[in-house]
Amino acid sequence: MSSSPHNAREPQRQPPGRALLIVISAPSGAGKTTLCDRLLAEFEAMDYSVSCTTRPPRPGEKDGEDYHFLTEAEFKARIARGAFLEHAVVHGHRYGTLAETVAAALNAGRDVLMDIDVQGARQIRERARAADAADPIRLGFVDVFVAPPSLQALEARLVKRAQDSDAVIRGRLRNAEQELRGRPEYQYGIVNDDLETAYAQLRAIVIAEHCRIA
């Protein structure tokens, strides 16, 4: 028997082989960032896909770490040269996933974690389905939808986070109802009510997907 307390978590070393492309979507404020940060802290061979956006940085956000913050012209130039695996307009700003970041991680056998909206998830799901059977995107694709316990709880979290103006919060809540309608398209669904329970479910999905034979 180990002498360590049984709730202490050792860093997870994923089995070799299939690298996962984990797509997480949720209405803004449902807790994606909190859950993703915990996964990245626990799973060693997992990279976060840093997206590009034209939205201005929030206080404390770092360029190249939270997002690559681009002007509209810079973003359009990347679209024109086919740099994005997917891109979409969310809450009035452009967001996109860099294809090169994802390919480099998967080819190195590392999992890729991405926090993208339902439109972007749809684009990657379609690409995964259409891809060759041996394509790492098709082999590794896993999608998870994180829902808040209620719209009231979502509003309370957005207010508590205190990073957006009232008008922005109202817009995000309007969008939330639309995003929740996308939930049935995902393989897995989690309700982030109690954070510990939600995280236990998310890490169980990652571990199970690493153990899959087919």
Single-letter amino acid, residue 76: K
Angle between helices 32-42 and 195-211 (to 10 degrees): 50
**Is residue 96 part of the contact set for ligand 5GP (CB under 6 A)?**
yes
**By C-beta, is 19 or 121 nearer to ligand 5GP?**
121
Shortest reach from residue 104's CB to ligand ADP, in Å: 24
Shortest reach from residue 51's CB to ligand ADP, in Å: 12
Shortest reach from residue 174's CB to ligand ADP, in Å: 15
**By C-beta, is 36 or 106 nearer to ligand ADP?**
36
- The one of ligand 5GP, ligand ADP, none whose footprint includes residue 96, by CB under 5 to 8 A per kind, is ligand 5GP
Q: What is the largest CA-CA distance in the chain?
A: 59
Instruction: Yes or no: say if 96 and 123 are a contact pair by the CB < 8 Å rule.
Output: no
Residue nearest ligand 5GP, Cβ-based:
120
Shortest reach from residue 162's CB to ligand ADP, in Å: 8
**By C-beta, is 108 or 195 nearer to ligand ADP?**
195
**H-helix or E-strand spanning residue 46:** strand 46-48
C-beta pairs of 126-130 under 8 Å, 24+ apart in sequence? 127/85, 127/86, 128/21
d(CA 122, CA 76): 21
- The one of ligand ADP, ligand 5GP, none whose footprint includes residue 51, by CB under 5 to 8 A per kind, is ligand 5GP
List b or e across 108-121, with b for residues whose CB sees 16 or more CB atoms inside 10 angstroms.
Answer: eebbbbbbbbbbbb
- The one of ligand ADP, ligand 5GP, none whose footprint includes residue 203, by CB under 5 to 8 A per kind, is none
Does the CA dihedral 110-84-88-123 come out positive or negative? negative
Scan residues 17-56 and list those touching ligand ADP (CB under 6 A).
Answer: 26, 28-34
Q: Which residues contact 207 (CB under 8 A, 6 or more apart)?
A: 12
Which residues of this chain interact with ligand 5GP, rule CB under 6 A? 25, 28, 51, 55, 86, 88, 90-91, 95-97, 115-117, 119-120
Which residues of this chain interact with ligand ADP, rule CB under 6 A? 26, 28-34, 157, 160-161, 192, 195, 198
